[in-house]
Structure 1
Amino acid sequence: MLKESWSLVEEHQDKVAGYFYARMFLSHPDLRELFPVQMDVQRTRLLSAIVTAVQTLEDPERFDDYLRALGRDHRKFHVAPEHYEVVGGSLIEAMRAHAGEQWCIEYDQAWADAYAMIAARMLAGANADQNPPYWYGEVVQHERRSQDIAVFTVLPMQPLEYRAGQYLSLEATAYQPRLWRTYSPANAPRRDNTLEFHVRALGAGWVSSVLVRRLRVGDMIKMAAPMGSMTLDRRSTRDAVFVAGGTGLAPIKSLLEELTRYNRTRWVHVFFGARTREDLYDLAELNRLAARYPWLSVVTACSDDPTFAGERGDISEVVARYGPWNEHDFFVSGSGAMVRATLRKLAELQVPSVRIKYDSFNG
């Protein structure tokens, strides 16, 4: 019934989202200050998170993990238990308003029951988290690697525990308060607690452009609880393939750094793709690692640079030229389009999906 009723409004998601926020802010004006000033990107985020949760109902374990992590993450917004009821009521009203005459009381009840379960799991995750809702960190290094790519290092004011391959939400507090975007640290946890981030400014991206073009050494940023499951299984003895597109290299480098601390038996192949040579912004460091660790090999490719001496084409196509890969563990990180293309190619190459971990991002 949930999927059936969602199909009635799916084509009108923007209108549903607009009504949802309007209803919520009209009934509880105090909630407006929890959200960013610019709502254009935020508009669909909360709605899509709820819909994703509902769509995982058939996978209870994944459903539970996803919602508990979401609840922990939402602590950064200062969400209180009573806010969940407001959100649920506004959601159902928004869907009812745009579904037309086919909406019925049974749909109301199905969404109310599902949302109650969602809220309970999120609250359980939030309540079980002993960490602060977010960490403050000082930018101690900032380097522009190209016109639209920056690499910067942050020192948290208190230790922040995470696993290599996970991602964090960042807020550039002084420039775009209450606007968060997710980025993966490019290093495994270190003794000095510093985290390195790789960011590309995407068009007029509210956060990415700030992090690349305006952030300075000495600025403070906020970092929320780590999320994501693209982590290493130390029990695996299979060789590994890392496929990175653009700044999707960040979590791949984090995983590589962890491997340098213990790996002696697994061959590791890194495929790093970008549009032009300039976009291979961290190639020198990758080559340094490959020279130091005999188990590591690096293949680079450009999709739109006729002067590039290495491989040409989309990185998913380049991966297919090597192999065979059906006995390897895969880790894929990059834009949504790059990840989807790579997953399709790996399916054609008969790589079992259970051996593929991936991290798709748009910022």
Structure 2
Amino acid sequence: MDSRTVALIRTTFKAVAAEEGGPEKLARSFYAILFTDYPQVRDFFPASMDAQRDRLVKAIVYTLDRLEEPDKLLPFLAQLGRDHRKYGVQPAHYVAVATSLKSAVKVFAGTEMWTDEVDRAWDEGLTIIGDTMIGAAEKEMTPAVWHGTVVERRDVLRNLAVIRLQLDQPMRYAAGQYLSVQVPARPRMWRYLSPAVPANANGEIEFHVRGVLGGWVSPAIIARTAVGEQWQLSSPLGGLGIPRNTKRKMLMIGCGTGIAPLRAQLMAMAQRRTNPRTHLFVGGHHPCDLYDLETLSRLAVSNKWLTVTPVTETDENPWWYPGSGEPGAALPGLEQRVTGQIGKVVAGFGPWSDRDVQIVGAPSMVQTTKFRLMAAGTQTKNIRHDPLF
């Protein structure tokens, strides 16, 4: 797409989003048009649409922000296309979605803004998106869905569990990627999770799941998951990872279960002959939130290129925590725990101008940490994180 086409698409969408409640109204209008004109697609979506509408708007914003960066956008869209095979979607469904989205935007933009040139711009943009996703899905030879049996469930905190599954066949993914899962308790509600271990030929996989207050899927996983339960898993997504033979030093920052994709990468790196210097900051609100320090301790002890600094916002554990003492106290290989907000702590260690940076955690934590690093002198191009939706 040329710059004129990109500008027309962005300007139109921004005009819609600028209205009070604009993004939510647009999402509601889109799904109303889609389900009215193409009622057969309703079965692809969950009964509750609140989270789905929010995810749609964030996905649109993410895509529009990268229209002039095809080297970043097209691989992302190709991954989405491969992932959407789990729904059983066909090329006609992409046409239905594109037509409905354009109709919804057109309604809110109004006749004065929606010129023939704007109409053609949206057609071009939506065609590129749809064709990229369709093409990637049609070329993919891996399964649309893997099936996994829960073989172990370990409660770490009252709202955090480690779930291990045995897949029906091995899945190839890069350490640091994420994928979506569907559990029996929440049909048609797919939740993104990051494997906490590298891919292996035995089809064994591990997830760290924390119940999100007000969420639909993660609380159900914490409350109901039992050994023997069958999960469905989709194709891997995401671009985090450390290339072999890289000479750039690494800075990794993870909070809560955000440690999972970082831990998987460190485990994969530990199997290599050489690695760049890597500094991991692992954070949590309370000391007990640093639930995986024993694993990180073993990695740090056996791999001298790795430095691990624990960070917590408070020195006290919550009243409900049954343990005594501080988790990870006196574990070898770990730096002394630092108290403070993780973004501020990491930025205070230096500008990290010689590092490639990965940030994993809640969207608010990722954004805050990213802004603090940028303010301290870290270049934006060196900071990576997964899409925040």
Pairing partner for 1:76 from 64, 73, 86:
86
2:13 corresponds, among 6, 17, 28, to 6
Q: Structure 1 residues 121, 265: CA separation in 2 closer, same or farther (over 3 Å shift)? A: closer
User: After the TM superposition, which residues 64-213 of structure 1 pair with which residues of structure 2 at under 5 Å, given as runs?
Assistant: 64-106=74-116, 107-172=118-183, 174-213=184-223
Q: In the alignment, which residue of structure 2 is the partner of 1:345?
A: 372
Cα deviation, residue 336, structure 1:
1.1
- SS across alignment from 1:158: coil
Residue 334 of structure 1 contacts residue 361 of structure 1 at CA under 8 Å; is this kept in 2?
no
Deviates more, 1:308-317 or 1:254-263: 308-317
66-75 or 224-233, which moves further after superposition? 66-75
* Secondary structure in structure 2 of the residue aligned to 1:233: coil
Which residue identity lines up with residue 10 of structure 2 in the other structure?
Answer: K
Q: Secondary structure at the match of 1:38?
A: coil
Partners of 2:160 and 2:275 lie apart in 1 by 34
TM-score scaled to structure 1, two decimals? 0.93
The percent of aligned pairs where both chains have the same amino acid is 35
Structure 2: which 5+ residue stretches go unaligned? Answer: 1-7, 318-325, 330-336
Letter in 1 for 2:169: Q
- Which of 269, 272, 284 is equivalent to 1:274? 284
Shift of 1:324: 6.1
**Cα offset for 1:330?**
2.1
Structure 1 SS opposite 2:378: coil
Write the distance in 2 (CA, Å) between the matches of 1:359 and 1:93. 30
List runs of 5+ in structure 1 lacking aligned partners: none
**Conserved in 2, the CA contact under 8 Å of 1:339 and 1:360?**
no
CA contact (8 A) 1:241 1:329 kept: yes
Structure 2 residue identity aligned to 1:191? A
How many correspondences in the alignment?
Answer: 361
**Structure 1 stretches (4+) deviating beyond 6 angstroms?**
none
> How big is the shift at 1:286?
1.4
Q: 1:275 to 1:132 in 2, by over 3 A?
A: same
The answer on whether the counterparts of 1:331 and 1:358 sit within 8 Å (CA) in structure 2 is yes
| Aligned-partner Cα distance in 1 for 2:121–2:274 | 53
How far does residue 47 in structure 1 lie from its aligned partner after superposition?
4.4
Q: Which residue of 2 aligns with 1:256?
A: 266
CA 1:252–1:177: 2 relative to 1, 3 Å: same
Q: Secondary structure at the match of 1:300?
A: strand
Matched to 1:313, the amino acid is G
Any idea what the Cα deviations from partners look like across 1:78-107, whole Å, max 9, x if unmatched?
111111111111112211222234332322
1:360 and 1:252 mapped to 2: Cα distance? 16
Tell me, what secondary structure is at the counterpart of 2:246?
coil
Distance 1:265 1:85 in 2: 46
Question: Cα 1:7–1:326, aligned 2, differ >3 Å: closer, same or farther?
Answer: closer
* Partner amino acid, structure 2, of 1:339: V
